[in-house]
Amino acid sequence: IIQGSSKEALRIIDRVYNHGYDIKVFYRMLMQHFRNLMVCTIDPALLDVVKEEMDELCNQAALLGAEQIQFILDFLLNKEQELMFTYNQRLFVEAIVIRLCNTKELF
């Protein structure tokens, strides 16, 4: 999503799905990651992660910027409820991730 690569994002989802991981757990982890990116733009000291991970999060946050991170996080949060009730969760997450890969065009 950060790199804007729909192809790579779909490959990641494919690996997650084919290794038997719960797609809802993956989605929650994705939301948590963007939450951490948002916090990084405000005060990285509030993150409960090791320094190396904090540095990586801050680098990723700088690539997107606070406004785009907030947009992505809001979008993920707003779609979470729909994920719980959709029949094809993999397809749903793929569609969301592809849309998020293209958010740079909005900023």
pLDDT tens readout for residues 46-86: 999 999 999 999 999 999 999 999 999 999 999 999 999 99
**How far apart (Å, rounded) are the C-alpha atoms in residues 74 and 71?**
5
Percent of the chain with pLDDT over 70: 98
Q: Judge whether 105 and 17 are in contact, CB under 8 Å.
A: no
Q: What's the token pair of residue 86? A: 């959709």
pLDDT of amino acid 104: 78
Q: Which secondary-structure segment (H or E) carries 53?
A: helix 51-64
